[in-house]
Structure 1
Amino acid sequence: MTGRRVVVTGIEVLAPGGIGAKNFWNLLSEGRTATRGITFFDPTPFRSRVAAEIDFDPYEHGLGPQEVRRLDRAAQFAVVAARGAVADSGVELDRLDPYRVGVTVGSAVGATMGLDEEYRVVSDGGRLDLVDHAYAAPHLYNHMVPSSFAAEVAWAVGAEGPSTVVSTGCTSGIDSVGYAVELIREGSADVMIAGSSDAPISPITMACFDAIKATTPRNDDAEHASRPFDGTRNGFVLGEGAAVFVLEELESAKKRGAHIYAEIAGYATRSNAYHMTGLRPDGAEMAEAIRVALDEARLNVEAIDYINAHGSGTKQNDRHETAAFKRSLGEHAYRTPVSSIKSMVGHSLGAIGSIEIAASALAMEHNVVPPTANLHTPDPECDLDYVPIVAREQLTDAVLTVGSGFGGFQSAMVLTRPERSLV
């Protein structure tokens, strides 16, 4: 079954400043930012007090009172996005063998907001050393086990095939989709509902990133705080969100007349086995993931029209990534437009990889490369074409999207137009 080709036929995105794939794309193509001062809690005690929050009402997006009570915010995002992706695809799941429909959900930190909120309740605001379980929400156990995300999505869409949570830090969103692609290729499923979700904007998360100074302290200018590849960058802006896709085997999708956004032509992941948060400056492990993804896609480096970068806005990551592009693409790296959408929607940890896959597919759909917002002062060590400030119209047939995560995870995915001839 290795000859099966896998395509994206449905997309739904919940992102800061743009709920729904259309609104999300409008934000990106217009170069608008959705970063602001934190409103979810009092951020006064923290070093970094800015984030990219979503204005999300679960009831407006079809969740009922029992679902709202049961589900953590990130799980709510995942369910809403899954339903939206299925609706966008037009696939009639109730006509399919449910054992041939699977789910993969990526998440870096699971039900962080729910756990943070519940701890405050059972500990009486942190005053009790021995917490009082009598005050806990009845579904608190679901917050403790990230597998509940996949279960909830499977229940929401009626999928009874393989159901998995992938948690590989900030590459979870790429890896969950990559795993789903492999399940279809090997014949274990015909349709996969795949993506990722994270809602990490909570006191505990902000404290963790404050401790290692990974997030920006640019609190007086939240709109321009996320500055990937800019010489004045000083850390990333935490975000939240979800993106979910319907993935199908190409011939089946064509047979039912589905709209096809892109083919997932290549995927690979590697680890640097080096440091929990550190990166080797030569970018070797990311370059290797890119090389293998291109080989799987049967593409030469010159075929890549656009790179959707990880682009977190930390000096270490941006320079590591730049080195990886040069190492893997050679001279073509200098001719290839690159951009980071984290400049507009922040870094939603495990969710961002899927959100960036959505951006890559939509860039192909519209033949527009989204910009890197807030890039005014180029870093001499980041000397590629980072598409500053304004989107660029460009015919785009093949996109490389990459991710880098704490723990040394490095992942790469290649999206192409399915009509491209394999060579």
Structure 2
Amino acid sequence: MTAVAITGMGVVAPGGIGAKQFWDLIASGRTATRAISLFDASGFRSRVAAECDFDPQFHGLGAQEVRRMDRAAQFAVVCAREAMADSGLEFDRVAPARIGVSLGSAVGCTTSLEQEYVVLSDSGANWLMDPAYAVPQLYGYMVPSTLAVEVAWECGAEGPVALISTGCTAGLDSVGHGARLITEGSADVVLAGATEAPISPITSACFDAIRATSPDNDDPGGASRPFDRNRHGFVLGEGSAVFVLEDAAKAQARGARVYAEILGFARHSNGFHMTGLRPDGRELAEAIAATLRLARVAPADIDYINAHGSGTKQNDRHETAAFKLSLGERAYEVPVSSIKSMVGHSLGAIGSIEIAASALALTNQVVPPTANLHEPDPECDLDYVPLISREHRTNAVLTVGSGFGGFQSAMVLGKGYRL
């Protein structure tokens, strides 16, 4: 796979808006999980989440844009603007047909859809709803690709534009797809990433029903505890990350600063169970092995693993087994961490947010920690970098994702350069 460079980055995350603020949070090991404030969660089993302190107008969106866009779209556009400015690329000098967009999301415009349902149904009292009460943007809320369209309008893209919706691996899959658009010659520049704003009653109720989210409401900051013996599930999050992708050789030729190079990406799936995972980790291990082959990277070359690390018992054990199966003895030597301990699990967006963390780990030569990891699960016996970040020489990062439906994705990032 031809190397693709990440030359621009934009991040909206819990605890900080902007890539610098995001890195400051995770490098310090601080958590952004707290009691839910976006709606009244008093009747729910899990009442904690990782929310973004996001004022759309403060971050440059006009009143009409705020009214038109779902919260997830607002996140994505703010990220796209940051990434474009950060890249130093003059987008108006790139042919529009050579600019593409690849955006990921698991649940689309959930926030606006639920708000409109509440209004149209009179808080659920009416089965038959009068469309006269609907906002003009309702159709757009029902079509997830409108999220990618908003980013395309922002960057003037008239090339390939896609919304990738593969659940919790969407943020990895969208960037992998964007990289392939460049390597296959379909685009010269791609804005790739993911966005999600799922902290709403309907999403919380769904995860409550399957008992996937943490009920540790008395300790919001400590509720997300990946790989810890006393973990009780994941903490829902929200946010976005968007990148400017270019051919690495062309990026170097124009003197661009490169955060990281995408060396390889692969996916695997299975028909095992809608939400369950085999304990042996075989499916994720196969995705990792395929990625290493494409990247022409050996297990010994991996210096850091940015884990999916959701904080559910079955995922953490499955993932630990997958690292051992795919990397062999190297799995015991390489540091591993989960940033979900600090920014929660933002479903389709988290894969891109974790790519941002991986690229910044390469740039800063620092491995972010796994917060709240005080008592490791004996079945999770790797080096999970507990509590405090670690200076570490890093040339290659493996970042992985796992999602309902059997989706397993893996990506290898190589160290970029600064000019």
TM-score normalised by L of structure 2: 0.99
Aligned to 1:221: 219
Amino acid at match of 2:275: T
Aligned to 1:255: 253
Amino acid at match of 1:365: T
Aligned to 1:299: 297
Aligned to 2:320: 322
Q: Out of 100, 105, 108, which is 2:106 matched to?
A: 108
- Per-residue CA deviations over 1:290-340 (Å, capped at 9, x if unaligned) read 001111110110000000000000000000000000000000000010000
Amino acid at match of 1:361: A
How far did residue 418 of structure 1 move?
A: 4.6
Alpha-carbon distance between aligned partners in 2 of 1:57 and 1:354, rounded to the nearest angstrom: 22
Alpha-carbon distance between aligned partners in 2 of 1:74 and 1:131, rounded to the nearest angstrom: 25
Alpha-carbon distance between aligned partners in 2 of 1:82 and 1:64, rounded to the nearest angstrom: 15
SS in 2 for 1:125: coil
Farther off after superposition, 124-133 or 388-397: 124-133
Aligned to 2:280: 282
SS in 1 for 2:103: strand
SS in 1 for 2:258: coil
Alpha-carbon distance between aligned partners in 2 of 1:268 and 1:145, rounded to the nearest angstrom: 27
Alpha-carbon distance between aligned partners in 1 of 2:9 and 2:164, rounded to the nearest angstrom: 19
Amino acid at match of 2:348: G
Aligned to 2:12: 14
How far did residue 61 of structure 1 move?
A: 1.0
Give unmatched runs, 5+ long, in structure 2.
Answer: none
- Per-residue CA deviations over 1:269-301 (Å, capped at 9, x if unaligned) read 000221110001111010010001111110110
Q: Out of 139, 142, 161, which is 2:140 matched to?
A: 142
Amino acid at match of 2:370: T
Q: Out of 383, 386, 393, which is 1:385 matched to?
A: 383
SS in 1 for 2:217: coil
TM-score normalised by L of structure 1: 0.98
Q: Does structure 1 retain, via aligned residues, the 8 Å contact 2:226–2:310? A: yes
Give unmatched runs, 5+ long, in structure 1.
Answer: none
Aligned to 2:185: 187
Q: Does structure 1 retain, via aligned residues, the 8 Å contact 2:48–2:217? A: yes
SS in 2 for 1:103: strand
How far did residue 132 of structure 1 move?
A: 2.1
Alpha-carbon distance between aligned partners in 2 of 1:407 and 1:258, rounded to the nearest angstrom: 39
Alpha-carbon distance between aligned partners in 2 of 1:218 and 1:265, rounded to the nearest angstrom: 39
Amino acid at match of 1:5: A
Alpha-carbon distance between aligned partners in 2 of 1:403 and 1:381, rounded to the nearest angstrom: 20
Alpha-carbon distance between aligned partners in 1 of 2:261 and 2:271, rounded to the nearest angstrom: 31
Alpha-carbon distance between aligned partners in 2 of 1:335 and 1:152, rounded to the nearest angstrom: 43
Spell out structure 1 runs of 4+ moving beyond 4 A. none
Q: Indicate yes or no: 2:32 matched with 1:34.
A: yes
- Equivalent pairs counted in the alignment come to 417
SS in 2 for 1:372: coil
Alpha-carbon distance between aligned partners in 1 of 2:130 and 2:365, rounded to the nearest angstrom: 56
- Per-residue CA deviations over 1:70-93 (Å, capped at 9, x if unaligned) read 110001111111111001001111
Aligned to 2:162: 164
